Structure 1
Amino acid sequence: MIEGLSSAVVVDLVIGLTVIEGLALALYHRHTGKGVRIGDFAVNLVSGLCLMLALRVAVADTAWHWIGLWLAAAGGAHVTDLWRRWRR
């Protein structure tokens, strides 16, 4: 079953599952008041998604500048997350 999946498809599936997870966590907190607030995980989630997008364009053999763009975006989101947590 797994033999038929390309690397790009696997990365796409992981990206999709991550987006669904983020939406599920946000909706759960919104409707119940329990769980993690979206503000506590959104920037971290964006950082991870940017890393996955960098991997996605790398396995698709896209131009190198797209990889650099997504890695820079991941770094920016990571620094933002650290800065927000440090202020607390």
Structure 2
Amino acid sequence: MAEFFASGRFIDWILLLMALEGLGLFLLWRVRACGIPPAALILILASGACLLLAVRAALTDAGWVWVWLFVTVALVVHLADLRQRWQRAHSKTP
């Protein structure tokens, strides 16, 4: 079990579950027109996925550059998500 965590394979499983979650939420949006819009969903899942990839890189000794890269991309995507939410919230106010 220690090898499963040290190798980062558990991160792969979490990423797979996130992809399935994203697919399910996307299908819900398409079929019932409810839930999270696809553009927002992509930003939410992408920032989390990048953080998970940073953890995986750190666990597998991939090097600090990969950890830094994934964390930086997660930050940029997170800021884009916040901007999108901020604009959506302000467009609804009278």
Same fold (TM > 0.5): yes
Unaligned runs of 5+ in 1: none
> Which residue pairs with 2:4 in the alignment?
6
Q: How many Å separate the matches in 2 of 1:80 and 1:35? A: 19
Unaligned runs of 5+ in 2: 89-94
Q: How many Å separate the matches in 2 of 1:83 and 1:19? A: 23
Residues 21 and 80 of structure 1: is their aligned pair in 2 closer, same or farther, counting only changes over 3 Å?
Answer: same
Structure 1 residue 5: Cα displacement:
5.5
TM-score by length of 1: 0.88
Q: How many Å separate the matches in 2 of 1:36 and 1:42? A: 10
**Aligned length in residues:** 86
CA RMSD of superposed structures (Å): 1.4
Amino acid in structure 1 at the alignment position of 2:34: K
Q: Percent of counterpart pairs with the same letter? A: 34
Larger CA deviation: 7-16 vs 36-45: 36-45
> Which residue pairs with 1:32 in the alignment?
32
Aligned positions of 1:4-83 closer than 5 A: 6-7=4-5, 8-83=8-83
Amino acid in structure 1 at the alignment position of 2:44: N
TM-score by length of 2: 0.83
